[in-house]
A = this chain, B = another copy of it.
Amino acid sequence: MVSFKLARTLISISGENMKQIHFLGPEGSYCEIAVNKLVQLLGYSPNEIELVPGSSIKKVIENVDNLDKIIGVVPLENSIEGIVRETLDNLVKTSSKVMMNMEVIVKISHCLITKASRYDEIDTIVSHTQGLAQCNDFINRNFPDGVELKTATSTSEAVRSIMDKPGNWAAIGTKIAATHYSLPVLKEGINDQPENYTKFVLLDNKVADPTGNDLSTIAFSVRNKPGALVDILIPFTQNNINLCRIESRPSKKNLGDYLFFIDFDGHIEDEKVKDTIGKIAPNVDFYRFMGSYPKCSKND
């Protein structure tokens, strides 16, 4: 009994020091690439962290909100598709402790993964709808006689699905998924627009420290009166704060009722940001500070 108790205590101590990073899985997803980049940037050693692939963006965000000592990584925005709605819609539903804390940009580079050694051996290609759409020209150019296209729930699921298939099957996915499932890559970088990036965001229960080059995000809804939205934006100009982006998301109550999401330059601790937020407060029906975090570029 004693040794059993001791073992439990040891596990518990080890568990307390471990930090869990939940991310949008499965293994081999672009989100896992983002996690690896973040782990390096944050200087975690492999013994300190445990990577937990989540089944959906919603699930990852809910876990950060509801469980202790968990940070999350989810996709936020793609340079071609735009904002990831599932991320915004679920983030705004969390308790106010969940904060956007850090960003990282991953270059999207799709691979043709297959046991075949030539394109003309392949008659079926499987991927996520976006994977297929983003390689449309490549497919038309290299499969002039046509090829059957099948969809999967994610690019990594597509790669997994061809593990037990013969060489007439191919998947479009990441290089790390090919490695993970021990499958050969026939061709790298097959996406039609080579400049394709996705920004991922790290979610934590604290605001990142100011760096002097930060971005902040807020969400709000406005009272239904003419000019209400612009009234909220004017204090930003008065304080010389640049607005980077505005998104409208449906309130999901009535068509035409929106939640607005704004990204602006600055940190919530900056005096001019505090002043601006103070000025807009009387004009909003709903307000949620989503986080301040260092700006990142695709070269980081």
A interface with B by C-beta (< 8 Å): 77-83, 85, 105, 151, 193, 195, 197, 199, 225-231, 233-234, 236-237, 240-250, 252-256, 258, 260, 265, 298
What is the count of identical protomers in the complex? 2
Docked Cα-Cα span, A110 to B40, in Å, equals: 47
Cβ distance A256 to chain B, nearest Cβ, rounded Å: 7
Question: Please, which residues of chain B bring their CB within 8 A of the CB of A243?
Answer: 227, 229-230
Q: Is the CB of B255 within 8 A of A240?
A: no
Q: Is the CB of B197 within 8 A of A255?
A: yes
Cβ distance A76 to chain B, nearest Cβ, rounded Å: 10
Docked Cα-Cα span, A77 to B85, in Å, equals: 14
Check A255/B105 contact, CB under 8 A, given A234-B234, A246-B246: yes
Q: Is the CB of A226 within 8 A of B248?
A: no
Instruction: Pick from A77, A193, A242 the residue with the most CB of B within 10 Å.
Output: A242
Cβ distance A298 to chain B, nearest Cβ, rounded Å: 6
Question: Please, which residues of chain B bring their CB within 8 A of the CB of A265?
Answer: 226
Q: Is the CB of A248 within 8 A of B250?
A: no
Closest to A236 in B: B230
Docked Cα-Cα span, A151 to B258, in Å, equals: 30
Check A240/B252 contact, CB under 8 A, given A233-B233, A234-B234: no
Docked Cα-Cα span, A299 to B236, in Å, equals: 38
Instruction: Pick from A195, A225, A244, A256 the residue with the most CB of B within 10 Å.
Output: A256
Q: Is the CB of A230 within 8 A of B226?
A: no
Question: Please, which residues of chain B bring their CB within 8 A of the CB of A197?
Answer: 255
Q: Is the CB of A247 within 8 A of B248?
A: yes
Docked Cα-Cα span, A183 to B79, in Å, equals: 42
Closest 4 CB pairs of A and B: A226-B242, A230-B237, A79-B255, A246-B246
Q: Is the CB of B256 within 8 A of A244?
A: yes
Q: Is the CB of A240 within 8 A of B260?
A: no
Q: Is the CB of B250 within 8 A of A226?
A: no
Docked Cα-Cα span, A245 to B242, in Å, equals: 19
Q: Is the CB of A247 within 8 A of B250?
A: no
Cβ distance A169 to chain B, nearest Cβ, rounded Å: 19
Q: Is the CB of B234 within 8 A of A82?
A: no
Instruction: Identify which of B151, B195, B241, B245 contacts A253 (C-beta below 8 A).
Output: B195
Q: Is the CB of B249 within 8 A of A82?
A: yes
Cβ distance A238 to chain B, nearest Cβ, rounded Å: 9
